[in-house]
Structures are given as structure tokens and as C-alpha cells.
Amino acid sequence: MFELLRRLFKKEEEMRSKDLARERLRLVLIHDRADVSPQVFESLKSDLIRVISKYMDIDEAGTSVELDSSKDSVALVASIPVICVKRTAGQG
């Protein structure tokens, strides 16, 4: 019985690992297709967060910025949780 449970859970872990590897490969291919190096992408992400932070308090830990690809286009997709909007730009 223990062996059966162990096999079931092992396959579940392998599936997660396989799915994770597939997702990583997908992201690499999207970055390549968009012709954006990882350094440029990280710089873009930092600049985007910096500019938005001038106007809004955001939750940087919950921020997600990625490139998404369809058959013939690439989109920059950002999910940036807003805590509150600042009354004036640059307000701390």
C-alpha cells in the first residue's frame, strides 16, 4: 500500500517538474521571438515599476511583468497591484 502511494505522489511531482520545464522553455522562446535579452527585459521591468511608482503606491512583491506570445504577435503583460494613487507625482 505504501509503495502505491509513493508511486502516485512521485508521478505528481514529475508532472509538476515537466510542466515547469515546459513553461520555462515557453518563456525563453517568447523572449527570443521578441528579440529581447534578459538584461533588457529586466531593465524594462525596473523602469516600468519606477515610472508607475511615481504616480501610485504599488505592491512590488506582487508585481508580475512578462512577455506573452500568440502566433503572430508578442504582448507585454503586466500585473501590478496598486495600493493607492498618489495625489501628486513623486509624492513619497
Q: Where exactly are the structural domains of the chain?
A: 2-85
Angle (nearest 5°) at CA 18 between 63 and 79: 15
Give per-10-residue mean pLDDT for the chain (92 aa). Answer: 52 64 72 73 90 93 84 83 85 58
Burial annotation 13-43 (CB, 10 A radius, 16+ → b, else e): eeeeeeeeeeeeeeeeebbeebebeeeebee
39 vs 35, 42, 46, CA distance in Å? Answer: 12, 5, 11
The confidence score (pLDDT) of residue 68 equals 79
pLDDT value of position 1: 44
- Report the pLDDT value the prediction gives residue 52, as an integer from 0 to 100: 93
pLDDT reported for residue 31: 61
Question: Could you tell me the pTM of the whole model?
Answer: 0.56
**Tell me, what's the pLDDT at 4?**
47
